Amino acid sequence: MPFERMNDPLPPTTMRLKNSKEFLPVSEPTTTTIDINGHACRVWTKGSGPKIGWLAGFGGLPRWTPFLDELAKTRTVIAPSLPGHPGATGHNLLDSHLDWIVAARQVIVKSGLEGEDIAGSSVGGSFVAEFAALWPHKVKRIAMIAPWGLFDEKDPATDVWAQRPDDQPGVLCANPQIWQDFKAVPPGANSVEWPIEQIRASEAAARVFWPLGNTKIEKRLPLILAPTLLLWGEQDRVMPRSYADTMAKLIEGKTTIKTVPGAGHLADLDQPAATAKAILEFMS
């Protein structure tokens, strides 16, 4: 029963930053769904121009973001939800990393992103890398913000699942308020089901990456042939900056590393304009 317990359909809720009107949306995305293993996964689409895919970071996309609006100014943004992330269920059918990679491939293909530019952040970034490694001729260019998949005990990644509730926003974003706004229950939403959906997103990430975030992605990075942009928030408190260098050395395609000033792990949330600009310039 894939739809059991899911929220009543709500219009996409755009993040409204306190004291900022700069990134208010001009319009809402359209919502469609794709079927992954019998479960509906939401796909948000907005903008016009060449397609760009977006696989969101830790926590998924509970609402549309200013960053995606920036991309949508010149591109058709297609943002599918991975299983278990907001707008999608079915994570608990996926028992192995292979199951997840196959599901992520279905998500990418069914949302019409095969052969297109694809970007992703943290959790989503890891699947962008896997897709580009295993189906190297099915992507154009890829951009990844602090993707997961490596673990170096000399420079360990932070355990995002072992944070006190008050500390978690500051671990994920340079500006903790941004994460709090991103995850806050929107007016009219179900105040019981909404938080469950947010925990489910964390669980879905845990199902793939528990306990260390280590999927041994280093074995597959050399298979990536696409031109690659690695973006890192200058204040990323989750993924060490050294991982960018490790990844860049292993990826076969031409790889560029850029840091985003004033951004934490989820750079697209902290610095929407700068992050979008870096990706759009790379993919122009």
Partner 1 sequence: MGNSLALYNPPTRVAEEFAMIDCISGGRLIAGFPVGTPMDTCYAYGTNPSMLREKYMEAHDLVMKAWTEKETFAFNGRFNQQRYVNIWPRPVQEPHPPVWIPGGGSVETWAWCAKMDYVYAYLSYYGYKAGLKTMQGFWGEMEKLGKDRNPYRAGFLQFVGVAPTRSEAMERYAEAAEYFYGRCLHVDLKYASPPGYNTEATQRVGLESQVRAAAEAAADPSKGKDALAAQGTTGSTTGTRFNMVAKTMEDIVDRGYVIVGSPKDVEEQLREVAVNMNVGHLMLLLQYGNMSKDLAKYNTKMFADHVAPKLRPLFAEWEDKWWPKPMEKANRAELPAFAPRVQAAE
167, 222, 242, 256: residue in contact with partner 1 (rule CB under 8 A):
167
Answer yes or no whether residue 195 interacts with partner 1 by CB under 8 A. yes
Question: How do strand 51-55 and strand 76-80 relate by DSSP bridges?
Answer: parallel
Size of the site for partner 1 (CB under 8 A): 24
Strands 142-145 and 255-260, bridge-based pairing: unpaired
Given the structure tokens 């759009």, which residue do they identify?
A: 280
State how far the Cα of 66 lies from the Cα of 269, in Å rounded to an integer. 8
Does the protein bind partner 1 through residue 192 (CB under 8 A)? Answer: yes
Q: Does position 158 bind partner 1 by CB under 8 A?
A: no
**For residue 10, how many other CB atoms are within 10 A of its CB?**
15
Only segment of 127-135, 136-144, 161-169, 243-251 that touches partner 1 (CB under 8 A): 161-169
Among 203, 218, 234, 252, binds partner 1 (CB under 8 A): 203
DSSP of 177-197: HHHHHHHSPPTTS-TTHHHHH
Q: How far is CA 81 from CA 53, 54, 60, 169, 264, in A?
A: 11, 9, 7, 21, 22
Q: Which is nearer to partner 1, 96 or 242 (CB)?
A: 96
**Which position among 46, 75, 85, 91 is part of the footprint of partner 1 (CB under 8 A)?**
91
27: left (phi over 0), alpha (psi -120 to 50) or beta: beta
Q: Does 1 bind partner 1 (CB under 8 A)?
A: no
| C-beta closer to partner 1: residue 19 or 191 | 191
161 binds partner 1, rule: CB under 8 A = yes
Residue ranges binding partner 1 (CB under 8 A): 5, 91-92, 95, 161-165, 167, 191-192, 195-196, 199-200, 202-207, 210-211
